[in-house]
Structure 1
Amino acid sequence: MDRLITGNAHDPHAVLGAHPAPDGGTVIRALRRHATDLAVITPDGTKHPMERVHPDGVFEATIPGRPDGYLLDVDGEEQDDPYHYPPTLGELDLHLIAEGRHERLWTVLGAQHGETGTAFAVWAPSAQGVRIVGDFTGWDAHDGWPMRSMGGTGVWEIFVPGVPEGARYKYRILGADGQWRDKADPLARHTEVPPRTGSVVFTSSYRWNDGEWIAARERKRPHREPMSVYEVHLGSWRPGLGYRELADELVGYVVEMGFTHVEFMPVAEHPFGGSWGYQVTGYYAPTSRFGDPDDLRLLIDELHQAGIGVILDWVPAHFPRDEWALARFDGTPLYEHGDWRRGEHPDWGTYVFDYGRREVRNFLVANALYWFEEFHVDGLRVDAVASMLYLDYSRNEGEWLPNQYGGNQNLDAIGFLQEVNATVGRQYPGTLMIAEESTAFPGVTAPTDRGGLGFGFKWNMGWMHDTLTYIGKDPIYRQYHHHQLTFSLVYAWSENYVLPISHDEVVHGKGSLAGKMPGDDWQRMANARALLAYMYAHPGKNLLFMGAELGDDREWSEERGLDWYLLHDPRRAGLKRLLTDLNKTYRAEPALWAQDTTPDGFRWIINDDVTNNAVAFLRIAPDGSTLCCVANFSGGPLDDYRIGLPYAGRWTELINTDAHVYGGSGVGNLGGIYTDDEPWHGFAVSAALRVPPLGVLWLRHA
């Protein structure tokens, strides 16, 4: 009883609850620290007074026979007792948890609400004792229901009758180091609104309406589908909107703009808004800043019904040091690696997951599955993959620990990534796993059965850096950097790529997308239009961060909304209209996406016109239909600019970024051109074009 009261009892149910007495009766003990008068109520309604047998609130009574259940009378209030309920986890669940193979971990750990109360379960293998505390116990330092340890699994559990939906709770853990800590539930499905840190009992009651979308998704082959992604930070797209309001306003906007997908910067709960969600404390809980989890379900459902896919940013690379969250969870390095050379991230001041621990891998793999299963997401973009792959990532000599072969690859992290990608691919066909990986690590998008990491796509960071560096230079200097425009085609099919112009490129002094462009306001808008048209024609899927369509002057900040007023400027409105037309035309032209991952879908026409800062190339669909892109990144028009073409006849001008409706000067070809029989660039026919200054043309054979 002393251990029960002090908190370091592994099996409080061995003391509390109902136990056979030697005389054939039943001994019932109850823990009520603040009560003065207790009695046992048997099913026939008889009350049996209980005696205080421990000064800190343990009461006992011996009653005849073996009653089928009982209640307690606590100072005149009828209450149920947590300690007469059996364990809430079955043997199979415990076996799978111990093996690190429970793919539906959220259904057994965390808070599971039922008709009569809530079951709580948490993994804390080195804890000396665990209590559940919350609104239903009081938050006093000595309160809480002691939980029982389920043997060698490290899981502690208890069923607490009467705990309702919406109740706040935490685990009070006596760590291996002898310190008590109140910890948020690692598998909480809902939380208090930050900066409050409590977990909240929540069960979804949402009924989905996207069955047709999910069925169609299973038949899709994403590499051969159009993919134009609008990246969104929910808190600053239009500040003040919750998930439900976004289901009205954001969905309509994305449909109007013609994007195929949205990508949400992390929605998992995080305490500090300035982290943009990349320092996660609640991996299974959508942030409560914008509503409850069913509100997020509604937003995703509405996007699906409007034909828009949903990608979430996912952050398994690291987690913050907040004492109330995952860090040193049971008084030991539990989720994080115990050696600081592998368990601490020097750049971000965070902990790194111990990918070699099977329970930690299970926590993360199940978390990925959770977002697909419970929220119907269509993809996860995995953040900071490079930091996971390399043991010496951002570390100096002596600050990292080699692997068992003496190398710098994190073999445990590689194994985890292969496991999560293979598992997601098996269970949710047609979905996306996308790596933000900034090095030349081989086989990021190669299948796991061939030794690859198994991602579906990888962000093409090399293309992004080269292209933004090139476009940021004054046209007079671009001729000296022409290779930055063409080098990406040397490796364009080494992986399955997404071309990203993401939030990372418009913060921390880098300037907005339009702000990177040289020249006066007209030239900056022209450069921005040309960049977007070039990007959409380049092999690879497309991703653009919100606000780029506005020609924003200021770089993005999470503390304020987008500068929507800019659309009163005809040039900004023209940029937005161009992006809408690019999306519409892109989706309608299989040449631009059906063969993104093979060189069969691309052919250079001109790649060495350094003097004119010009390139021209073909995009080719599986049926041979072809689109020609001609880009002029010089400050003047190119008149009578002859290019070879594969087919004779008329080529229709689908896109001209210099059109008046986009805010341009109107230099073009009056809607199309006709070829003549003059061979050029290795083709039998050719045509002479007017290519606008700082402009891009898309031409399709009529």
Structure 2
Amino acid sequence: MRKAIDKYEGGLEVFSRGYEKFGFTRSATGITYREWAPGAKSAALIGDFNNWNPNADVMTRNEFGVWEIFLPNNVDGSPPIPHGSRVKIRMDTPSGIKDSIPAWIKFSVQAPGEIPYNGIYYDPPEEEKYAFKHPRPEKPKSLRIYEAHVGMSSTEPLINTYANFRDEVLPRIKRLGYNAVQIMAIQEHSYYASFGYHVTNFFAPSSRCGTPDDLKSLIDKAHELGLLVLMDIVHSHSSNNTLDGLNMFDGTDSHYFHSGSRGYHWMWDSRLFNYGHWEVLRFLLSNARWWLDEYKFDGFRFDGVTSMMYTHHGLQVAFTGNYNEYFGLATDVDAWFI
């Protein structure tokens, strides 16, 4: 697989920059939107910008099942999709017509009284984008990690925001003598009771706590204080939501995930990635790089690694030290590449 990626994609350096090709990318002349959905029979980009008209912006498909559309700038030079617009992709799938949040969406929100979440085209004007001011701290000789959840960082739910965590919690962590903070539940998750582990939008920071720029400000402040920022990243499974998550995205059971029982975690009630698929690898590797490059996270704590490595997910297995418990037919070899 690695040799094939080097040959056909130009190496992991290029392969892990999938966000520069998929989802929404803006150029000087307009916006391109691409989505991998091989099971779809047709696809169209819909949203506030075209009054949700499925006939206005119909997408075309290539031989790899990637749908694409280019929207030129408006006559006055403004972007064809305004910042903050709600967007979705409408597909005719084997399971029927469905409107989905783009898989590579960078922000999604839930309007009061609305279910499910809505994808948001997030591309503020340059003067409104947060600019990092402080470099990453140097690698310490040893780590003293403070684990935290922004949404549960105070006794007042309404102030559990990136901004409040930045101003009130980070200085306290620094005073206590820690040199790193590990932040949980960053990736967007519709079901709050999942504690952030049933991710629906992998490239979007949780909107409950603020905007992407608010999160960048938090990380920049941590770096100013000399704190490394680790992200609790979830690549071991995904929410089984079909409208605002990846499940049945293109109307098939085997899109991003294994089909049948292998693609379902019976204890977590979630979907399991097919790590042996080319586009799944691109998605997850690019996702990890996105958080490092765009948000300046310093590293990761990977959740559910045992579940990734073994088809039994570590459930009902004692792991007594016998090699057969660690290396055997239950090993998910594909996951080891991740």
Q: 1:248 aligns with which of 146, 155, 167?
A: 167
**Partner secondary structure for residue 361 of structure 1:** helix
Q: 2:307 aligns with which of 350, 369, 387?
A: 387
**Partner secondary structure for residue 46 of structure 2:** strand
The match for 1:230 is 146
Question: How does 1:508-527 map onto structure 2 within 5 Å?
Answer: none
CA contact (8 A) 2:306 2:314 kept: no
**Aligned letter for 2:331?**
Q
Q: 2:225 aligns with which of 306, 309, 320?
A: 306
Q: 2:103 aligns with which of 186, 201, 215?
A: 186
What do the CA deviations read for 1:256-300 (whole angstroms, capped 9, x no partner)?
Answer: 222111111121100011111100011100011111111100000
Structure 1 residue 167: deviation in Å? 1.1
Q: Do structure 1's residue 335 and structure 2's residue 256 form an aligned pair?
A: yes
The match for 2:132 is 208
Q: Distance in 2 between matches of 1:100 and 1:411?
A: 22
**Partner secondary structure for residue 49 of structure 2:** coil
**Partner secondary structure for residue 372 of structure 1:** helix
The match for 1:376 is 296
The match for 2:190 is 271
The match for 1:413 is 335
The match for 2:90 is 172
Q: 1:229 and 1:395, CA in 2 relative to 1: closer, same or farther beyond 3 A? A: closer
Q: 1:236 and 1:395, CA in 2 relative to 1: closer, same or farther beyond 3 A? A: closer
Structure 1 residue 196: deviation in Å? 4.2
Structure 1 residue 190: deviation in Å? 1.0
Higher relative contact order (CA 8 A, sep 6+): 2
The match for 2:59 is 147
The match for 2:203 is 284
**Aligned letter for 2:103?**
P
Q: Distance in 2 between matches of 1:406 and 1:387?
A: 15
CA-based RMSD: 2.4
**Aligned letter for 1:173?**
M
Q: Do structure 1's residue 128 and structure 2's residue 60 form an aligned pair?
A: no
**Partner secondary structure for residue 63 of structure 2:** helix
Question: 5+ residue gaps in structure 1?
Answer: 1-94, 398-404, 417-702
Q: 1:113 and 1:202, CA in 2 relative to 1: closer, same or farther beyond 3 A? A: farther
What do the CA deviations read for 1:419-478 (whole angstroms, capped 9, x no partner)?
Answer: xxxxxxxxxxxxxxxxxxxxxxxxxxxxxxxxxxxxxxxxxxxxxxxxxxxxxxxxxxxx
CA contact (8 A) 1:100 1:361 kept: no
**Partner secondary structure for residue 174 of structure 2:** helix
**Aligned letter for 1:186?**
A
Q: Do structure 1's residue 112 and structure 2's residue 25 form an aligned pair?
A: yes
What do the CA deviations read for 1:153-177 (whole angstroms, capped 9, x no partner)?
Answer: 22111122421111110111111x1
Q: Distance in 2 between matches of 1:174 and 1:272?
A: 27
The match for 1:636 is none
Q: Distance in 2 between matches of 1:289 and 1:395?
A: 32
Q: Distance in 2 between matches of 1:143 and 1:274?
A: 38
**Partner secondary structure for residue 153 of structure 1:** coil
After superposing on structure 2, the runs of 4+ consecutive aligned residues of structure 1 that deviate more than 6 Å are none
Q: Distance in 1 between matches of 2:284 and 2:71?
A: 27
Count of residue pairs brought into register by the alignment: 303
Structure 1 residue 396: deviation in Å? 8.0
CA contact (8 A) 1:113 1:202 kept: no
Q: Do structure 1's residue 365 and structure 2's residue 285 form an aligned pair?
A: yes
CA contact (8 A) 1:279 1:320 kept: yes
CA contact (8 A) 2:311 2:331 kept: yes
Q: 1:290 and 1:116, CA in 2 relative to 1: closer, same or farther beyond 3 A? A: farther
Larger radius of gyration: 1
**Aligned letter for 1:207?**
A
Given the two structures, how large is their TM-score scaled by the length of structure 1?
0.41
Question: 5+ residue gaps in structure 2?
Answer: 1-7, 73-79, 318-326
The match for 1:597 is none
Q: Distance in 1 between matches of 2:97 and 2:29?
A: 30
Given the two structures, how large is their TM-score scaled by the length of structure 2?
0.83
